[in-house]
Each structure stands twice: as structure tokens, then as C-alpha cells.
Amino acid sequence: MLAERLPGLLPDLADKAAMEVTAIHSLAAVRSSTGTLLRRPPFENPHHSATAAAIIGGGSGLPRPGAASRAHRGVLFLDEAPEFERRVLDALRQPLESGELVIHRSAGTAAYPARFQLVLASNPCPCGKASGKGMDCTCTAIMRRRYFGRISGPLLDRVDIQLQVERVSLADFGQAGMEEGTDAVAGRVLAARQRQAERLGAFGIETNSQVPGRTLRGELRLAPGTTRILDTALERGILTARGYDRVLRLAWTLADLDHSNIPTADHIGQALGLRQATTTA
């Protein structure tokens, strides 16, 4: 339910992005009912039994776009992520880095844009009862390691936010009216996107996720005191070089949401904490 709400938080697609998304969906035979440009970010939620061709793209003749390309400029949600074939999950590493999927077949090669937000969700263990105190869980430590081992380290290294979602308690049901509406959150996201566009326009990019590492450590380099905790994590091997850049991008996003002109040490610490949280969802 949370994942399905994510597209509602994203701004409408600009003309160029809308044309890209509409073209991909036309190639995949998923057409707009009105025949106009698709303006809302797409949401793809393939079943865990989906094949590599269904997720990445393929088919006889010239390869057709899969779920990853259809999610371009939107959200690709993989529920029960450890149940997907490992080779299918690992195939997502390329588009997460380049924003493009290149498919080679005997009939030819096709390149499709695939710049999406990947959301992975899983149970806390194979039986699903390890949340909270986990008293009813029947899984052994080996079973849990095998379960989460299906998601490779290189793929997890490309996941910027890793959160454990606790079980809803009875007290939570008494908090009706305290939640925030989609429109309010979407307004903050739009304001943050506008700040990013103004700052990054000179580099020919739109969002923090597209900023290359050389720019993060060059024109947008932060003061050494600000990144001290991040530098220490890199030196100790807690972070990879890729992870270092991804924490910086997330820190810039947190700063944009806070209406701050530049990330502070607190933003860096928060971004690093979000990345290192225990992941069962």
C-alpha cells in the first residue's frame, strides 16, 4: 500500500519525460486510453514469478520493453523481493547505474530508457513472523541468511534507503486523523524538485540522483568537516565508493526537503543512517 502511494508524491512529468514514457508504453502495447501523453509517473508491480524477459524485456524478434522500462520516470516495486530469481534482480544493476537497458537478441539490439525508483519489500524471514519480538518465528539463522542472501550485495549497494517496517500495533489504530495527506507531502516533494532543478540546471541535469560522482566531489564538494563521518565510513570499509556518492545524493535531497542551500553534517548523518538501517522491508 505504501509503495502504491509513491507515484502520487511525484510531480507530473514534463513534456520530454512524458514523451519518453508514452513512447515506451506504446512499444509495449500499453496505450493511454485517451490517446494523449502520459503525464503521471508510471507504477509497475510485477509478480515474483515474472521471468527475466518480463522484467528486463525481450520476446521473439526485436526485444520489447519489460517492466523496468515501463517504470521509466516512475516506480518499479518488487514485493517479496527475495522470491524473485537472483539473475532477474541482478539484471537491474545496469539500469540503476546508467538509467538505460540494453537488450541483445539475435534479431538485433534494443536500448530502452529505464530511469526508475526501485522499491524492494520482503518479509522479515521466510515464515514472516520475525517482526516485533519474533516469538512465533520458526526460522533458523541459516534459513534467514539464505532468504536474504538471494538479494546480492552489489544490488543492495545500489539501494539508498533501507528501513525496517514494524508491525502495526493496536495503539496505532487510535491515531486516526494524525496522518498526513498525499497532497501535503507531494507539495514538499515538488518544492524540493524545483530547488534541485535550479541548482543543477547549469549541469544539464534535473535531479540529485543524476549527479555524477565527479560533480559531487568537484563543483558541489562539501567542506571536510561536513563529510567527516562519511569519510570515516569509507576508510573503515563500511561504505563502498559507490555508496559514498549515493549517501551524498541522499543528503542533498534531505537538504532540499529542509529548504537548506547545502547539506549539513546532520543531513549527512541522517542519510548514512537511512542507508545502514536493518532491512526487512
CA distance 227 to 248: 9
pLDDT in tens, 169-178: 777 766 666 6
CA distance 226 to 241: 17
Sign of CA dihedral 187, 192, 195, 197: negative
Do 45 and 136 lie in a common domain?
yes
pLDDT in tens, 199-209: 999 999 999 99
Helices 228-235 & 265-276, crossing angle to 10 degrees?
A: 40
Amino acid identity at 33: S
CATH number of 12's domain: 3.40.50.300
CA distance 246 to 230: 11
Residue 178 lies in a domain: no
User: Quick one: which H or E segment has residue 75?
Assistant: strand 75-78
Do 256 and 149 lie in a common domain?
no
Count: domains in the chain = 2
**Cell reading at 119:** 522499491
Do 83 and 27 lie in a common domain?
yes
Do 218 and 101 lie in a common domain?
no
Residue 164 lies in a domain: no
Do 189 and 124 lie in a common domain?
no
Q: What does the pLDDT average to over 261-276?
A: 94
Do 107 and 215 lie in a common domain?
no
Do 130 and 269 lie in a common domain?
no
Do 66 and 125 lie in a common domain?
yes
Owning domain of residue 217? 185-276
Question: Looking at 55-59, 139-143, 172-176, 226-230, which range is the least confident one?
Answer: 172-176
Residue 174 lies in a domain: no
Instruction: At 82, give phi and psi (nearest 5°).
Output: -65, -15
Using 50, 70 and 90 to split pLDDT, how confident is the model at 35?
low
CA distance 23 to 70: 10
Residue 243 lies in a domain: yes
CB 160 within 8 A of CB 246: yes
CB 81 within 8 A of CB 51: no
Higher pLDDT, 55 or 61: 55
Question: Looking at 17-21, 93-97, 105-109, 151-155, which range is the least confident one?
Answer: 105-109
Distance between start and end Cα atoms, the chain: 13
Residue 171 lies in a domain: no
Higher pLDDT, 170 or 142: 142
- Buried residues in 160-189 as b, exposed as e (16+ CB within 10 A): bebeeeeeeeeeeeeeeeeeeeeeeeeeeb
Burial group, residue 251, by CB count within 10 angstroms (0-12, 13-18, 19+)? buried
Do 32 and 107 lie in a common domain?
yes
Residue 30 lies in a domain: yes
Do 33 and 95 lie in a common domain?
yes
* Predicted pLDDT of residue 2: 83
120 DSSP β-pair partners: 78
* pTM of the full structure: 0.89
The CA-based angle 101-157-166, given to 5 degrees, is 110
Do 73 and 126 lie in a common domain?
yes
Do 17 and 128 lie in a common domain?
yes
CA distance 74 to 118: 9
Cell 544490488 appears where? 155
